[in-house]
Amino acid sequence: MEILTQHLQAMADAVDFPLMDRWLEDHVDVPIVATAFYLFLVHVVRDSYMKGRPAYHLRGLNIMWNLFLSFFSFVGAYYCVPRLYEIVTAPVISGLEPSSLRYVANMTAAMRRNIVIPDDFREGVDAVGVRGSLDTSLCVYKDDVYRRNISGLLCLAFMFSKIPEMFDTAFLVFQKKPVIFLHWYHHVTVMLYCWHAWISPTSSGLWFVCMNFSVHAIMYFYYFIAACGYGKLVRPFAPLITFLQIAQMVVGSAIAVYVYYMDQFGDGCDCRSSNAKLALMMYISYFVLFSQFFRNRYIKKKPKPSVPSTISSAAPSLSADKKTQ
């Protein structure tokens, strides 16, 4: 991993993050256009173009796609989760720019309640530290907390990845597999939310990134194994993956409630209330839909079919589980 770390650090050093922030703010049309093309794929290409046509054989591409996404998610979790752990537990968080920590009076309320002030501190000369805590990880927004260096590079890649991840649906459409509401609704909403979260002060964003990377690393590896022809071998793990997705929605909802409460009624939180409300609505809707899916797929008893059916799928038991935030 040392070689990978060196390459990622070199890439992070080459990225002009402030420029990227401005570019994303100036190009909010990109996710809207991506949504339009995506819905065209789901509701026009699937129902019109593919109707009456034979399914494409995309197994090889599907195998490589799932392996790539699993590896990408694993790398993201490998570097981002330790950073989140530091932000939650460290006596003083590392990697923060000292020049921005010298003027306590100009800090937000969330930052002030989590700073560590040296005994000989002089305003404008010495820098304070920021302690790690759960409140810091949820309410303190500062660019170099998680939007710079390797973690920032991977968070940026995470945000952009939500557009190419829509190829998940293309594989289903061109192989004539079912595309249920949960599948395409999740793709659209998570992509739009991630773009909005990046251009907004989102103090809790690293939590969402780490949860998603971690679940996706497992989920896409499952699909890789299944696409290789070992679906029956890994099928017992399908309920566990869906359970992890539901757990992610529970934690995400709790985070959104905490952030919104602290911003509106508590001691302050470095976020936009609109983003916190969007996160809450998104996670609650996911919780309902994934719970319903779990119940219908793994708990509710189904009558045995009179004629055996076969499922031609790269991921036989989770064709609709394929989405987490």
- What pLDDT tens digit does each residue of the chain (325 aa) get? 889 999 999 999 999 999 999 999 999 999 999 999 999 999 999 999 998 899 999 999 999 999 999 999 999 999 999 999 999 999 999 999 998 899 998 899 999 999 999 988 898 888 999 999 999 999 999 999 999 999 999 999 999 999 999 999 999 999 999 999 999 999 999 999 999 999 998 999 999 999 999 999 999 999 999 999 999 999 999 999 999 999 999 999 999 999 999 999 999 999 998 999 999 999 999 999 999 999 999 987 666 555 443 333 333 334 444 444 4
Which residue segment(s) compose the domain that 71 sits in?
1-88+149-299
Is residue 5 in a domain?
Answer: yes
Is residue 191 in a domain?
Answer: yes
Is residue 199 in a domain?
Answer: yes
Give pLDDT, residue 105.
87
In the chain, DSSP assigns E strands to 115-116, 129-130
Is residue 78 in a domain?
Answer: yes
Query: N- to C-terminal Cα distance for the chain?
Result: 26
- Please tell me the distance from the alpha carbon of residue 164 to that of residue 72, in angstroms, as a whole number: 13
Is residue 43 in a domain?
Answer: yes
Is residue 139 in a domain?
Answer: no
- Asked if residue 89 lies in contact with residue 135, where contact means CB atoms within 8 angstroms, the answer is no
Give the chain's domain count: 1
- Please tell me the distance from the alpha carbon of residue 53 to that of residue 63, in angstroms, as a whole number: 23
Taking CA atoms, 260 is separated from 162, 257, 270, 273, 279, in Å, by 25, 5, 10, 6, 10
Is residue 310 in a domain?
Answer: no
- Asked if residue 248 lies in contact with residue 324, where contact means CB atoms within 8 angstroms, the answer is yes
What count of Cα atoms within 13 Å lies in the side-chain half-sphere of residue 246? Answer: 14
Is residue 57 in a domain?
Answer: yes
- Please tell me the distance from the alpha carbon of residue 222 to that of residue 211, in angstroms, as a whole number: 17
Confidence (pTM): 0.90
Give pLDDT, residue 315.
36
- Please tell me the distance from the alpha carbon of residue 231 to that of residue 228, in angstroms, as a whole number: 8
Report which of 164, 178, 175, 161 is spatially closest to residue 320, judged by C-alpha positions. 178
Q: List the catalytic residues.
A: 186
